[in-house]
């Protein structure tokens, strides 16, 4: 069990999984924040229309869900961050 990076509470992965059902498996391992320190925004991913998982310390809603973000890291070797690139 790891402590939450935000509030230092021990992360209850069972609670996290229940609350973040659409993003099961991409929660504690990716972000190390507890369920209390995260917000789920449904249908917000620009790539797959999936739910976006937002650590509460983030001020803006990400364009990519964790799955699409890690997918891009795997394919390009570069982390696009949370927001879509606006290339012309
Ligand atoms: Zn927390
Ligand atoms: Zn996505």
**Res 59: pLDDT:** 72
Please give the average per-residue pLDDT across 55-60, as a whole number. Answer: 71
C-alpha–C-alpha distance, residues 82 and 85, integer Å? 9
The pLDDT of residue 17 is 61
Q: What is the pLDDT of residues 14-47, one digit of tens each?
A: 666 665 555 555 444 556 777 778 777 888 888 8
CA of 43 to the centre of ligand 2 (A): 9
What distance in angstroms lies between residue 9's CA and the mean position of ligand 1's atoms?
Answer: 6
* CA nearest to 22, candidates 46, 7, 44: 44
Q: Is the dihedral of CA 87, 81, 67, 52 positive or negative?
A: negative
CA distances from 60 to 2, 44, 64 (A): 25, 12, 12
**Mean pLDDT along residues 43-54:** 84
pLDDT at 88: 43
Judge contact between 53 and 38, C-beta under 8 A.
yes
Q: How many Å lie between the centroid of ligand 2 and the Cα of residue 33?
A: 20
Alpha-carbon torsion, ordered 7, 8, 9, 15, to 10 deg: 70
Q: Residues 65-83: pLDDT tens digits? A: 877 887 888 899 887 777 7
């Amino acid at each position: 069990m790891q402590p939450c990076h935000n509030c230092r509470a021990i992360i209850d992965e069972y609670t996290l999984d229940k609350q973040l059902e659409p993003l099961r498996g991409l929660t504690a391992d990716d972000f190390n924040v507890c369920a209390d320190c995260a917000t789920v925004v449904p249908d917000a991913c620009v790539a797959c229309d999936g739910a976006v998982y937002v650590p509460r310390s983030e001020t803006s809603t990400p364009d990519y869900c964790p799955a699409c973000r890690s997918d891009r890291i795997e394919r390009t070797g570069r982390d696009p961050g949370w927001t879509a690139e606006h290339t012309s």
